[in-house]
């Protein structure tokens, strides 16, 4: 499927645009689930000013979706209508600053930020080492693992809103909750400053290896987006899923992982619709079995394939 090509019109409205703007660009190849339709207009800005210019001049009726490393996204089979913003070069600098701080562009991968901190003997950021997303995704999701969470280390995030204005958010402004931020939905984050603490490189390296070991022991290696559902208050999502008999359940090419039953995996030929339907089936079975209403942690974006 493909969308009507809106790129020539957009380019005509934005003669000073410097980044790449492309029609009907496939997104499945970069999605961790390896599923999903195209972006109607994929924009990869060169820098913050270019992003602000694009957002300011984009007609109000065109929706904007920002994607990071797509490690927490089901991109639906019909693709994403409107503009899809993906940050890359120009947004991935990682700079170690005085006071055990790390300033990172939001396209930087969490793992690269953790590594930079380790090399600079900055502790407190090793939890990022095993999370496969970008700093932008970490800000939106309040990503966390092994006792660390983005909300605990964020000093300040910068972003550009839909009107093209630069905005700055303190950790409190971000309205962080478990795997969520209540920062305005329209903001595209462009950089973040994270606070670490004095540490020892060798010890941090050890922490990172331990995180890797634990992940390899408990998580599948298949095409997945990690934890599908948030842990219900006081419970583990995987336990209620297991108790409802969902381990190994399949829909089309999608399966509830045998290894970690809060992970859905693409066995090979899954469509986004299979994965989403499987997730909904798990929610229904868990509700029927234990009364628990599981809440999606994975974000679902885009349009289902038209019949």
Ligand X SMILES: Cc1cc2nc3c(=O)[nH]c(=O)nc-3n(C[C@H](O)[C@H](O)[C@H](O)COP(=O)(O)OP(=O)(O)OC[C@H]3O[C@@H](n4cnc5c(N)ncnc54)[C@H](O)[C@@H]3O)c2cc1C
Of the listed 70, 191, 227, 257, which one is catalytic? 227
Of 230 and 287, nearer to ligand X (C-beta) is 230
Q: Are 227 and 237 in contact (CB under 8 A)?
A: yes
Which run of H or of E encompasses 195?
strand 188-195
Active-site residue, from 158, 167, 179, 215? 179
For residues 149 and 142, the answer to whether their CB atoms sit within 8 Å is yes
What's the burial of 114, exposed, middle or buried (CB within 10 Å: 0-12/13-18/19+)? buried
By Cβ distance, which residue is nearest to ligand X?
137
Q: Which residue number, 78 or 132, has a Cβ lying nearer to ligand X?
A: 132
Closest distance to ligand X from the beta carbon of 273 (Å): 19
Judged by DSSP in three states, 122 sits in: strand
Burial of 127 (0-12, 13-18, 19+ CB in 10 A): buried
Q: How far is the CB of 12 from ligand X (least distance, A)?
A: 27
* Residue whose CB is less far from ligand X, 24 or 71: 71
Of 116 and 121, CB closest to ligand X: 116
Distance CA 286, CA 302 (A): 26
CA–chain centroid gap for 213, Å, is 23
Q: Cβ 8 to ligand X, closest distance in Å?
A: 26
Can you give the binding site for ligand X, defined by CB under 6 A?
32, 66-73, 87, 106, 131-134, 136-138, 140-141, 143-145, 188-189, 219, 224-226, 299
Name 97's bridge partners.
101
CB of 14 to ligand X, least distance (A): 20
Active site residue 227: yes
Please report how close the Cβ of residue 288 comes to ligand X at its closest, in angstroms.
27
- Which residues are paired to 191 by β-bridges? 105, 158
Catalytic one among 48, 207, 276, 297? 297
**Which residue, 175, 145, 135, 180, is CA-closest to 298?**
180
Buried b (16+ CB within 10 A) or exposed e, 155-170: ebbbbbbbeeeebebe
Chain-centroid distance, C-alpha 99: 28
Q: How many CA atoms lie within 13 A of 127 on its CB side?
A: 16
Nearer to ligand X, 259 or 287 (CB): 259
Determine the Cα–Cα distance for residues 214 and 229; give it in Å rounded to an integer: 20
297 is catalytic: yes
Least distance from ligand X to the Cβ atom of residue 307, Å: 27
Q: Give 55 or 138: the residue with its C-beta nearer to ligand X.
A: 138
The catalytic site residues sit at 179, 227, 297
């Amino acid at each position: 499927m493909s969308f009507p090509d809106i790129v020539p019109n957009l380019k005509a409205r934005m003669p000073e645009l410097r980044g790449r703007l492309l029609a009907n660009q496939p997104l499945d190849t970069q999605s961790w689930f390896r599923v999903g339709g195209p972006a109607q207009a994929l924009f990869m800005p060169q820098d913050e000013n270019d992003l602000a210019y694009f957002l300011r001049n984009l007609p109000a009726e065109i929706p904007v979706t920002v994607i990071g490393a797509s490690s927490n996204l089901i991109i639906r089979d019909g693709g994403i209508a409107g503009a899809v913003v993906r940050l890359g070069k120009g947004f991935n600098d990682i700079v170690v600053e005085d006071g055990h701080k790390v300033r990172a562009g939001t396209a930087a991968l969490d793992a690269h930020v953790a590594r930079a901190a380790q090399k600079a003997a900055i502790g407190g950021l090793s939890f990022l080492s095993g999370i496969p997303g970008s700093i932008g995704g970490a800000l939106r999701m309040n990503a966390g693992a092994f006792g660390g969470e983005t909300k605990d280390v964020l000093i300040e995030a910068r972003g550009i809103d839909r009107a093209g204005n630069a905005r700055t958010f303190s950790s409190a402004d971000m309205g962080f909750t478990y795997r969520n931020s209540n920062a305005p939905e329209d903001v595209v984050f462009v950089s973040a400053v994270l606070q670490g603490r004095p540490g020892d490189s060798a010890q941090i390296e050890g922490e990172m290896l331990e995180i890797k070991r634990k992940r390899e022991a408990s998580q599948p290696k298949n095409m997945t987006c990690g934890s599908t559902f948030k842990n219900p208050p006081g419970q583990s999502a995987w336990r209620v899923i297991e108790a409802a008999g969902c381990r190994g359940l399949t829909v089309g090419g999608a399966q509830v992982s045998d290894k970690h039953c809060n992970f859905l995996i693409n066995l090979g030929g899954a469509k986004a619709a299979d994965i989403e339907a499987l997730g909904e089936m798990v929610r229904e079975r868990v509700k029927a079995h234990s009364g628990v209403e599981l809440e999606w942690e994975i974000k679902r974006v885009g349009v289902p394939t038209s019949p």
